[in-house]
């Protein structure tokens, strides 16, 4: 279905807890088009990674601010 930018292909994997060879939709470039459940899982993983990165950045900022204070610099006055 090139007019839609889609093609059918075979995919080996688990869908709804059934492991087998499945007929799935792919882009014309061969990228698997996820079903809504797969997309939701991927979005949850991305959100979790983003939250972890934000927590690490906050921790690093707090460490740097503390180091500045130890050196006699008020980090609040640097902005």
pLDDT attached to residue 29: 96
- Check whether residue 39 and residue 72 sit in a common domain: yes
Asked if the model's pLDDT at residue 67 lies above 80, the reply is: yes
- Check whether residue 46 and residue 78 sit in a common domain: yes
Q: How confident is the model at residue 78 (pLDDT cuts 50, 70, 90)?
A: confident
- Over the stretch 16-54, which tens digit does the pLDDT of each residue have? 899 999 999 999 999 999 999 999 999 999 999 999 999
- Check whether residue 67 and residue 79 sit in a common domain: yes
Domain count, the chain: 2
- Check whether residue 9 and residue 43 sit in a common domain: no
CA distance 77 to 56: 23
pLDDT attached to residue 20: 97
Record the pTM: 0.58
Domain that holds residue 72: 34-79
- Check whether residue 38 and residue 65 sit in a common domain: yes
- Check whether residue 40 and residue 2 sit in a common domain: no
């Amino acid at each position: 279905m090139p007019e839609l930018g889609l093609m059918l292909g075979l995919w080996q994997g688990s869908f709804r807890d059934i492991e087998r060879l499945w007929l799935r939709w792919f882009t014309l470039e061969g990228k698997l088009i996820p079903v809504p459940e797969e997309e939701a899982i991927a979005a949850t993983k991305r959100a979790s990674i983003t939250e972890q990165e934000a927590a690490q950045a906050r921790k690093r900022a707090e460490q740097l601010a503390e180091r500045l204070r130890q050196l006699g610099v008020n980090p609040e006055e640097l902005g």
